[in-house]
Amino acid sequence: GEPGNYGGRDERNAMINCYADGLCAQADGKWYDAPDDWDGPKPLCRTDDSSSGGDGGIFTITSSNGVWDDCPSECAAIGGTFTCIDDEAQNIQALAAFRGHCPGGADDCGAWIAVSDEASEGNWVCTVDGSPQTYQPWSSIGNEPNGGPGENCVNVWGPNSGRDDGAWNDYGCTDARMPCICKGGDAGAGATSTTTTGTNCRSDICTDYASDCCAPGSEPRGCSMAGYEVESDPYGASGWGPCVSTYGQESVYQCCSEEGGSSSPSAEDLFVAGPNGGNYYDAAAYCSSIGAEIATIFSSAENEAARRACGGSSCWIGLSEQGGTVGTAPSSQVWTWPDGNGASYFNWQQGEPNNWGGRDEKNAIMNCCGTWGQESSGKWYDAPYDYDEPRPLCRTAAAGSGSSSKKGGD
């Protein structure tokens, strides 16, 4: 009976197994067509490198940031190998290894790969074995590679970078500190769990396939501990490394105190602004460093709380435009939050977004324009990622954590 376009909907995606209260409860591996907005199924990922004969290799991005020359030892430290990328399928896997976010604390939204022309300008090689690097998906933004003899190393642009996500860029080998893309390895190697988000919450537990929680070390499983409950924590600033590397950051949950009926912070505590101005990636890194996330805003009430936290300055928020060009009309622009979900609430200033001055401005700020003593209307403006005056505006609770139940039945 499948695909069946159930209920008269044009169902253009597919899932394995079917479980929905009152509709189906199957675990036989059969496939079903489904609408793209159904939020019940969990992600199912393939971890082998199918483009190279299924050799079992996967890409891992190191949690530490360094210059290009640091990468062989950084990858070795997590049991992997600093790697080049052979084809489009591998490049898609490498982009997926970012898990939807720019690397925390990095100087730029990218990661190093083992490709260089340092030995011979313009002759790019895979430094793993010295072979010519034939696959080269250079970014069209900036007409890469464009650095000449001063930029001999290569990085892959990460998600929401504003510069051809997944495309390549030549960079000075010591000009930026970024993570490294490794073949194999464990992103959680040596990781420890720490308290991060929420009030009296621990961001070190995760859902497993048994539909309960697992905790690191010898700690009690799940939130059976008296006085605690599970809350979503899809952006946990630390999470538990092995949980993240196995199931993905979206599987990390908080174990929160039930004291007072909810561990969710009040609206007054929901947002905090950083002390100094910087570019978009500085803002995202700052929020991560304090166990928060760059601000997501879902309602006028939340925008008012964010406005008060931002005060009389410009502040970065987490909104970014996907695709499009400088000539894309505002009505056709697609704006999303860092988790990839499209924004449904906006508070644009009249005439915004406008790609001011002919720049393709793919990020957004609240208030315009400067670090201090500016407007405090709470209106939004599009802005280029490298505008270095706005302060970071951080959300101190994971988006959507108002419910104390685990999503998707996990």
pLDDT reported for residue 117: 95
**What integer pLDDT is reported at residue 350 of this predicted model?**
92
pLDDT band, very low/low/confident/very high, at 27 (cuts 50, 70, 90): low
Choice between 47 and 378, residue whose per-residue pLDDT is larger: 378
Do residues 114 and 136 lie in contact, with contact meaning Cβ atoms separated by under 8 Å?
A: no
Q: Is the pLDDT of residue 296 over 60?
A: yes
Q: Is the dihedral of CA 296, 302, 308, 313 positive or negative?
A: positive
CA distance 127 to 123: 12
Residue 48, pLDDT > 60, answer no
Residue 333 clears pLDDT 80, i.e. is over it = yes
Is a pLDDT exceeding 70 seen at residue 409? no
Query: What does DSSP say about strands 271-273 and 252-257: parallel, antiparallel, or unpaired?
Result: unpaired
Helix (H) or strand (E) holding 308: helix 300-310
Q: Indicate the burial class of 297 (C-beta count within 10 angstroms; 0-12, 13-18, 19 or more).
A: buried
- CA angle 70/75/76 to nearest 5° reads 105
- When pLDDT is averaged across residues 195-218 and rounded to a whole number, the result is 39
Statement: residue 186 has pLDDT above 70: no
Nearest to 181 by CA among 99, 242, 237: 99
DSSP 287-327: HHHTT-EE----SHHHHHHHHHHH-SS-EEEEEEEES--TT
252: tokens are: 């990390």
Q: What is the DSSP string of 114-129?
A: EEE-SSSTT--EETTT
Q: How confident is the model at residue 182 (pLDDT cuts 50, 70, 90)?
A: very high
| pTM, entire model | 0.40
d(CA 31, CA 22): 19
What pLDDT was estimated at residue 234?
Answer: 41
Segment 299-320, tens digit of pLDDT = 888 898 888 888 778 999 999 9
